Structure 1
Amino acid sequence: MSRSDTAPGAVLARELAAVLRGEVRFGAAERTVYSQDASNYRHLPLGVVKPADQDDVRTALALCRQYGVPVVARGAGTSISGQAIGPGAVVLDFRRHLGAVLAVDPERRTARVEPGTVLDDLQRAAHPYGLRFGPDPSTHSRCTLGGMIGNDSCGAHSVAWGRTADNVESLDLLLADGTELTVGGPLDPAERATLAALPGRVGQLHHRLQEFTEQNLAVIRRGMPELPRRVSGYPLDALLPERGHHLARALTGTEGTCALLLGATVRLVEDPPARALVVAGYPDETAAADAVPALLPLGPLTVEGMAADLIAALLAAGPRPPALDRLPDGACWLFLETGGATPAEALDAARRLAEAVRRERVATAAVVTDPAEQRQLWGVREAGAGTVTRLPGGGEAWPGWEDSAVPPERLGDYLRALRALLRRHDLHGVPYGHFGEGCVHLRIDFPLAAPHGVPVFREFMEQAADLVVSYGGSLSGEHGDGQARAELLPRMYPPEIIAAFREFKRIWDPENLLSPGTLVDPRPLDADLRFTGPVRELPLALPLALPLALPYEQDDGSLAKAVRRCVGVAKCVDPTTGVMCPSYMVTGEERHSTRGRARLLAEMLRGAAAPPGHPGGAAITDGWRSAEVREALDLCLGCKGCASDCPVHVDMATYRSEFLHQHYRHRPRPAAHYAMGRLPLWLRGAALAPGLVNTLARSPAAGVLKRLGGIDPRRVLPVLPPETFTRWYRRHRAEHPAPAGARPVLLWPDTFANHLQPEVLRAAVEVLDHLGFDARLPAGPVCCGLTWYSTGQLGGARRVMRRSLAALAATGLPADTPVVGMDPSCTATLREEVPRLLGAEGRPLAERTRTFAEFVDEYAPDAPLPQLPVDAVTQTHCHQHAVLGSAADRRVERRMGVDNRVLDSGCCGLAGNFGFERGHFEISVAIAERVLLPEVRAAGPDTVILADGFSCRTQIAQLADGRRALHLAELMRRALRAEAAEGAGE
């Protein structure tokens, strides 16, 4: 019997599954990954429903009403205040099947969308008409219109185009009692009378709303502060006659507490064809804030503030982005964007802004017109939500006081007072945000995991609420209140307004079925924190506590802290670009996203430490033995894309290796772990009789071998060459000694090139000889240990790595001799995993290891490279993208005259052993078919396909209709031989 059969709500789950076309998930894994959003809170839902259509939404709501189960609507689930989760609720995830842009009307400048429509999809649909949706949060690649309407989202351009509420025409609603209606505005008296006279529940609703408004006119006018970013509480002032009795705007920002959204008509704005960006530098954030009111009359599209401490946090987290070189002098910067019908018009507006900035003696300004540079600078700003979760000193920072807002003219004073409040509590944070509208984003290093942390959190939140109210501001300026701030609303609003909020909620949802405990009668702000409760570093899933096998050097040796890196900003659920997360890109399953896996690991740590019956108990209670965690990590390709693409550098490949190591400790492993995880050993034996092995691999016995090895029957086993590279090298060096005086360099003969594709290493020797280097080999067999590491056989990986270090030392070459790795996965392992597993013993090797392109670029920067003016497309290996970088490759290609285009294809889908393992074939192919294979097939016959990774080349060879990819070294050798042939011909 499965857990879902015995869990509460099993009857409801069975009934839902019997009548819905969509997915019904009440198991432990799905409940876990939907138990958190981007907030500080954790609520295990009863289950998750992914409706296939509107009928599914209606049916699911009706059944939940019948069983008295609350319902929480969810889009991308990135809400920072806790609105996207609910204890014991059924979560409706609209992303999967209700995410279409239904229509764009360029004449009326409107669009019809479903609740799960991702903002970027709407922008793409509107772009051909020169239109766009005005509000644009930094999460635009994954946030949904339903979520934006629920929270009244804003974004960088709201200073020009307003909040979501300002851009909503009408909403199609489903009420908790099953009533459906469409609301909009503005409404004149005749229209209001007609609506109130409608029969049934709809007419009663309109009549009651109109009566409510009349009774509370004075209270609403007096109690709702006027400021551009008031997103706290219900927007009751939209009901006022002077605001047009606009029901759609009155419901925008109600955080899913009043109605379910079935669809919306939203307003579009003209998208300026040309943009320019003024970056203004100021000595500090308060000086920048003080300058804002004088700049607003010049009509900038954005006025975004970003201080030096955000840059420091960015640099602490990773390499320096080149865009930072465009920042003028200062310690805080305003990003002031201008638009125009032409580049000249946008530039003129930018120059006027820059002149106004420079009139302040303490200010500097730079005008950026290049679109690529603008994108890079905006990328730095948009990464802020993730970057500032770790402070420059390494401390963890959390939301809570995340997006307070004050009138822009009071922003400088508010920031000074806010900094003083932080100092009084010995707290730290990195303020940034929408300075043009007085909105400040701020994550704070609340000591939430410490025994004294929760009282500190509460005291600060209460005092901060009083502070922002004293400046005429709002608790929330963008993300809504949720559990984080709803309890504090009485500090912002008088009792009459709080009572009106309660009554407004009852009019729409009298049974309190929709998102109960949010906004009205809220849960305490310091309850249900995901940091509190029983979380143990060493889960007692076995009779003895198991020490962690990996050091987690950036997280104080703590897996729990490493997992907490995931704060839910959800970049991993953007399926359109980048490497992260390939399995999510093709499955769309939350548990197969980086975020979902992090949630499962966190729940595993919690559950393994919780005694039976503990009130903070977890959905996953069997620690390292968890089948749910194993199943989610089974589709993790170990690509390490999250380690670089995730704003907070969650490294799921590392956590996966730890889990597999612990999960299978003293237990039998899957067959693929023995076959593929220890493949270097098998290949070394196979090299003794390659002909026999090839005959077996092409005979009927191959099926048996694949089955025994856990390999998918549809995979083609690679052909062994008649001679390994190392044998060829000894013969080659005997016949062609290196030139006297040539500088030695150690070439790393990785397992796959040595035993399966030796021509790559042969090409490297030929090129290095030509460049005047003496390519040497280690004194014995070497292996980076990656296959052991990726399958969680960490003890074996350590032994292999140590033997390889001994083989390098035995060469007798100087300790600083560079080591050149030809395969990105092996090279990345030498750079990152060897020191991770061996500590100081492995660091010297990591420091002297280079990719082939890095070596040529660094050690032969002025050498004339052979010219080969060809077109090429490159598939970048995931580990190169995540760990090594490819800037050197691009420089070397330019030196050769290669016209190269790098594919935005993400992972190839093979990922070492992943694509060969039984059960992974369909996922592997689907990942490759997303971008890579169509691009390769479409490439012209003379276009060179470049792929330095053995996995990438293998995937292309097996699936791309006969196309073959080359390593950069092979391309350079081709160029050398072409030049030599041309010279001989002359």
Structure 2
Amino acid sequence: MTAALERALSAALRGEVRFGTAERAVYGYDASNYRHLPAGVVKPADRDDVRTTLALCREFGVPVVPRGAGTSIGGQAIGPGAVVVDFRRHLGRVLSVDPDARTARVEPGAVLDDLQRAARPYGLRFGPDPSTHSRCTLGGMIGNDSCGAHSVAWGRTGDNVRSLDLLLADGTELTVGGPLDAAGRARLRGLPGRAGEVHRAVQDLAEQNLALLRRGMPDLPRRTSGYTLDALLPERGHDLPRALTGTEGTCAVVLGATVALVPEPPARALVVAGYPDETAAADAVPALLPLRPLTVEGMAADLIAALVAAGPRPPALDRLPDGACWLFLEAGGDTPAEALAAARDLAEAVRRAPRAAAAVVTDPSEQRQLWAIREAGAGIVTRLPDGGEAWPGWEDSAVPVERLGDYLRELRSLLGRHGLRGVPYGHFGEGCVHLRLDFPLTDPRRLPAFRAFLEQAADLVVSYGGSLSGEHGDGQARAELLPRMYPPEIIDLFGRFKRIWDPENLLNPGALVDPRPFDADLRFPGRDLPLTLPYEQDGGSLLTAVHRCVGVAKCVDTTSGVMCPSYMATGEERHSTRGRARLLAEMLRGEAVTDGWRSEEVREALDLCLGCKGCASDCPVHVDMATYKAEFLHQHYRRRLRPASHLSLGWLPLWLRGAALAPGPANRLLRHRGSASVLKRLAGIDRRRELPQLPEQRFTAWFRAWRAAHPVPPGATPVLLWPDSMAELLDPEPARAAVEVLEHLGYEVRLPHGPVCCGLTLISTGQLALARRVLRRSLRAVPAGLPVVGVEPSCTAALREELPRLLGPDGAGDLPGRIRTFAEFLDGSGAELPRLATTAIAQVHCHQHAVLGTAADRRVERRLGVETEVLDSGCCGLAGNFGMERGHYEVSVAAAERVLLPAVRAAGPEVTVLADGLSCRTQIAQLADGRRAVHLAELVRRALREASGAATGESR
């Protein structure tokens, strides 16, 4: 039946139909604890495709699950054996903005940030703003009744939906709006056909149960559990859009929506309030709400500890006042002075509480940095400060705000009785608490303890008049617990409401009504295969490593940052960091992907991973796909024939050393069209790529001549320069510049005793055993004790991170701690640098971004007086061997064309293009009309030469 459905869909749709193993695997997960492999995935091209998909699924009796960004934490965006309809790809437009009516028309796949950008020119915005705003879709927000930090001022999504264009499972289409008066309700009752039947049934359901709806639904701002049937009450205007928001795709498919917009405050100020603990912060909130802050967000010290444990300490933490829990209170105004005055009023109110402190932050950059800490919470708290794992499950409970402090005290006590730990934070202004806990979900024997805690936690929140969920809906995570929150009569109404809309139970069955057990269908089972790399942060387990991915989907944000260049180019979920992690999890599970390390589905998905390591730093949970790819390639090709490019580009330093014996003949061979074409074909290199030209003189030969002409002055401080293979054999100019600069500043540059290589070309192609041998040999050539300066960022990063990973801390010695980038060494030297009147644009090498950082580069440039614009371009797209290999050219170019190449082409000839990475300089030279980028060492050398009046020709 599944094969017949796939054929029918493929024949009928203009969009994409994907029923393969890889697609099913990556769409079998969202951001929850659950796994449900779908029958297949449809990416509709237009509304007609959606209509046809539902018609065919109804004909074949296959359920349908609508999906936005797949960031649901309750399991609402996945369904066993269903057809998942992904609206992001082709139905993601903001159709119009009406500034007079303060509304916007959107398609279901429209991303929230796109709506905000469309509304901003009119001084408007959509009020709800969950932390996933850069990738969550309006359809998903409507499905889950999303909220966000500003809901205390502007309400939930359901409060801001004006009308919905709906498609029912039986093909009926209708548009519902509200609120409605009696005449409006009567008009809907009189509609002909199925539409009138639905309206009559819904109105009768409400009118026959008025008393039950009035007394059986808790009245609090963050109730997102169950269906919002009290929106159907006459006093609430029989608001159908409100009642259908939060139904998690179980009643109808949203084809479009009209949403309300609110005025964007022209100016904002942030008050950060510090309290002794989270309960003190919660107790203080009711007194602050009358001042009408735009946000009241709570964040405790254990979240900060988890953040610091996960990576470098953000400088913004220095702005936090004394305390162990903080409230982020945002104030708005028509002018900065008005916002500041409102913030000062809030700060004064904060200080009235015992042992409370407050800081007012007006600088927009500092505000963004502080908010970034809060927005990263969903990812940060998946790892506890000691490295332990924490999972959703009791994620979004909410109580009346005046009872939040008492609820937190009892919740902490309950956690203690169950031996559970977590990091609470959330929307304290509306009594909503985010909390991921170290549930024993990976041990089936301990699942009864998981069930016992959730049942007791549900009873606790209900005893406070609260809601199981105050955001993100219920899904499989909490729907089974709804009878603990609502009386049986309300639960019965939920079922009757769904059956009015979806009598055949085709839309997201098992969610909300007749739910699946919350301790079933967990995503964690799997086994560990033999490994080569240590996975020291994950207990030596690749299974634990890939389960770092919790689906928050920062990797599918295409607007900025390093992640994920291949997803930005293809738009395919399986080419995102999240998609690849899901496929690896399926490989380790061994059910859908059955052939382990030999899996072609995993190999294909990883083939377009650039190995940029952006995810290792930018992913909130530090999924390191470059490392997982190296492991997979090592295992996949063990005792098997490797692709030609692994032997040509992976062994590139070896081939270059051979060619360097006769650079003239080698260059003639590489320049000749016929021979170059044959070489590229044999080497697995894309025919559109230019082969490199060898320098006439190797770097070490130049250095010997330099030393003969420039004896070391007495007393010079020795420093070791790492002559990486590319500097030695392909592009020696940055290393030459580094020598000249360092010796001008009074250092004695020394080189290793013999050839050295970081082994990165071998690591990136998964030849890990050979990489170990190369690194061991290189270490024998490095004298002890001296500081080491690396010129090539990727090599420097490999020595700092991959060397101890491959050889172990003992085998790596102290080299990882001794090596510095050129900028780091120069920055730390305190040497006085001359001023250079120029402007620059800088392309940051992705490995430097991920492993080394660039703060030292920026400080050196400021000392030079260079005004530098750092491009938010991510990976240049060449990524060492990646962009040279056959089959990667289009993705490589697309990555470069996103930001880098347009910026370089637009830069005038007087603007210096800075790129420390050889890959970046090569990509620019080949794709930006031959524009030459320079290394920071070359820029500093230029400044020194100009200052000394020396000739500007290249030093030889």
Equivalent position of 1:703 in the other structure? 677
Counterpart of 1:303 in 2: which secondary structure?
strand
Deviations 1:653-693 (A, max 9, x none): 00000000000000000000000001010001010011111
Task: List gaps (5 residues or longer) in structure 2.
Answer: none
Higher mean C-alpha deviation, range 192-201 or range 497-506: 192-201
Following the alignment from structure 1 to structure 2, what is the Cα–Cα distance between the partners of residues 881 and 759?
23
Counterpart of 1:926 in 2: which secondary structure?
helix
Equivalent position of 1:620 in the other structure? 593
Following the alignment from structure 2 to structure 1, what is the Cα–Cα distance between the partners of residues 903 and 39?
43
Instruction: Tell me if the contact between 2:55 and 2:170 (Cα under 8 Å) persists in the aligned partners.
Output: yes
Matches within 5 A, 1:224-263: 224-263=217-256
Equivalent position of 1:842 in the other structure? 812
Equivalent position of 1:941 in the other structure? 909
Aligned partner of 1:537 among 528, 535, 557? 528
Counterpart of 1:629 in 2: which secondary structure?
helix
Aligned partner of 1:51 among 39, 44, 49? 44
Structure 1 position 645 matched with structure 2 position 636 = no
Equivalent position of 2:185 in the other structure? 192
Following the alignment from structure 1 to structure 2, what is the Cα–Cα distance between the partners of residues 786 and 245?
64
Equivalent position of 1:974 in the other structure? 942
Q: How far does residue 962 in structure 1 lie from its aligned partner after superposition?
A: 2.1
Structure 1 position 670 matched with structure 2 position 649 = no
Q: How far does residue 48 in structure 1 lie from its aligned partner after superposition?
A: 0.2
Which amino acid in structure 2 is aligned with residue 671 of structure 1?
A
Aligned partner of 1:718 among 656, 667, 692? 692
Structure 1 position 333 matched with structure 2 position 326 = yes
Instruction: Tell me if the contact between 1:487 and 1:525 (Cα under 8 Å) persists in the aligned partners.
Output: yes
Structure 1 position 786 matched with structure 2 position 736 = no
- Given the two structures, how large is their TM-score scaled by the length of structure 1? 0.96
Structure 1 position 951 matched with structure 2 position 919 = yes
Following the alignment from structure 2 to structure 1, what is the Cα–Cα distance between the partners of residues 106 and 119?
12
Equivalent position of 2:634 in the other structure? 661
Deviations 1:806-834 (A, max 9, x none): 0103xxxxx33111110110000000000
Structure 1 position 776 matched with structure 2 position 750 = yes
Following the alignment from structure 1 to structure 2, what is the Cα–Cα distance between the partners of residues 278 and 72?
42
Deviations 1:854-886 (A, max 9, x none): 00011x21x210211211000000001000000
Equivalent position of 1:565 in the other structure? 548
Deviations 1:909-961 (A, max 9, x none): 00000000000001100110011000000011100000000000000000001
Deviations 1:118-146 (A, max 9, x none): 00000000000000000000000000000
Aligned partner of 2:824 among 851, 854, 874? 854
Which amino acid in structure 1 is aligned with residue 240 of structure 2?
L
Equivalent position of 2:215 in the other structure? 222
Counterpart of 1:628 in 2: which secondary structure?
helix
Q: How far does residue 737 in structure 1 lie from its aligned partner after superposition?
A: 1.4
Equivalent position of 2:480 in the other structure? 487
Matches within 5 A, 1:627-642: 627-642=600-615
Structure 1 position 733 matched with structure 2 position 707 = yes
Q: How far does residue 982 in structure 1 lie from its aligned partner after superposition?
A: 7.3
- Given the two structures, how large is their TM-score scaled by the length of structure 2? 0.99
Instruction: Tell me if the contact between 2:91 and 2:110 (Cα under 8 Å) persists in the aligned partners.
Output: yes
Matches within 5 A, 1:166-315: 166-315=159-308
Which amino acid in structure 1 is aligned with residue 731 of structure 2?
Q
Which amino acid in structure 1 is aligned with residue 359 of structure 2?
A
Counterpart of 2:198 in 1: which secondary structure?
helix
Following the alignment from structure 1 to structure 2, what is the Cα–Cα distance between the partners of residues 240 and 304?
32
Equivalent position of 1:115 in the other structure? 108
Are residues 983 and 515 of structure 1, via their aligned partners in 2, closer, same or farther at CA, if it must alter by over 3 Å? closer
Task: List gaps (5 residues or longer) in structure 1.
Answer: 1-7, 539-546, 608-617, 810-814
Following the alignment from structure 2 to structure 1, what is the Cα–Cα distance between the partners of residues 48 and 712?
75
Instruction: Tell me if the contact between 1:42 and 1:85 (Cα under 8 Å) persists in the aligned partners.
Output: yes
Aligned partner of 2:890 among 910, 922, 937? 922
Q: How far does residue 451 in structure 1 lie from its aligned partner after superposition?
A: 3.7
Equivalent position of 2:734 in the other structure? 760
Following the alignment from structure 1 to structure 2, what is the Cα–Cα distance between the partners of residues 878 and 327?
31
Which amino acid in structure 2 is aligned with residue 441 of structure 1?
H
How many correspondences in the alignment?
Answer: 950
Aligned partner of 1:603 among 586, 603, 609? 586
Following the alignment from structure 2 to structure 1, what is the Cα–Cα distance between the partners of residues 229 and 215?
12
Instruction: Tell me if the contact between 1:721 and 1:755 (Cα under 8 Å) persists in the aligned partners.
Output: yes
Following the alignment from structure 1 to structure 2, what is the Cα–Cα distance between the partners of residues 822 and 426?
50
Matches within 5 A, 1:398-409: 398-409=391-402
Following the alignment from structure 1 to structure 2, what is the Cα–Cα distance between the partners of residues 525 and 19?
37
Following the alignment from structure 1 to structure 2, what is the Cα–Cα distance between the partners of residues 926 and 459?
51
Following the alignment from structure 2 to structure 1, what is the Cα–Cα distance between the partners of residues 61 and 390?
37
Structure 1 position 865 matched with structure 2 position 833 = yes
Equivalent position of 2:120 in the other structure? 127
Counterpart of 2:271 in 1: which secondary structure?
strand
Which amino acid in structure 1 is aligned with residue 152 of structure 2?
V
Which amino acid in structure 1 is aligned with residue 528 of structure 2?
E
Which amino acid in structure 2 is aligned with residue 868 of structure 1?
L
Equivalent position of 2:534 in the other structure? 551
Following the alignment from structure 1 to structure 2, what is the Cα–Cα distance between the partners of residues 425 and 191?
53
Counterpart of 2:209 in 1: which secondary structure?
helix
Deviations 1:163-213 (A, max 9, x none): 000000000000000000000101111111111111111111111111111
Counterpart of 2:719 in 1: which secondary structure?
strand
Deviations 1:429-450 (A, max 9, x none): 0000000000000000001112
Deviations 1:551-584 (A, max 9, x none): 0000010010001100000000001100010000
Instruction: Tell me if the contact between 2:945 and 2:951 (Cα under 8 Å) persists in the aligned partners.
Output: no
Q: How far does residue 983 in structure 1 lie from its aligned partner after superposition?
A: 11
Equivalent position of 1:543 in the other structure? none
Equivalent position of 2:717 in the other structure? 743
Following the alignment from structure 1 to structure 2, what is the Cα–Cα distance between the partners of residues 456 and 323?
39
Which amino acid in structure 2 is aligned with residue 935 of structure 1?
A
Equivalent position of 1:70 in the other structure? 63
Identity across the alignment (%): 78
Q: How far does residue 453 in structure 1 lie from its aligned partner after superposition?
A: 2.4
Q: How far does residue 843 in structure 1 lie from its aligned partner after superposition?
A: 4.4
Structure 1 position 378 matched with structure 2 position 348 = no
Structure 1 position 897 matched with structure 2 position 880 = no
Structure 1 position 21 matched with structure 2 position 4 = no
Write out the 4+ residue segments of structure 1 that deviate beyond 2 Å after TM superposition: none
Which amino acid in structure 2 is aligned with residue 724 of structure 1?
R
Are residues 843 and 496 of structure 1, via their aligned partners in 2, closer, same or farther at CA, if it must alter by over 3 Å? farther
Following the alignment from structure 1 to structure 2, what is the Cα–Cα distance between the partners of residues 269 and 816?
62
Aligned partner of 1:907 among 875, 878, 899? 875
Following the alignment from structure 2 to structure 1, what is the Cα–Cα distance between the partners of residues 559 and 248?
27
Structure 1 position 882 matched with structure 2 position 875 = no
Q: CA RMSD for the aligned pairs? A: 0.9
Instruction: Tell me if the contact between 1:64 and 1:70 (Cα under 8 Å) persists in the aligned partners.
Output: yes
Following the alignment from structure 1 to structure 2, what is the Cα–Cα distance between the partners of residues 930 and 14?
36
Following the alignment from structure 1 to structure 2, what is the Cα–Cα distance between the partners of residues 704 and 554?
45
Aligned partner of 1:82 among 61, 75, 83? 75
Q: How far does residue 18 in structure 1 lie from its aligned partner after superposition?
A: 0.7
Equivalent position of 1:820 in the other structure? 789
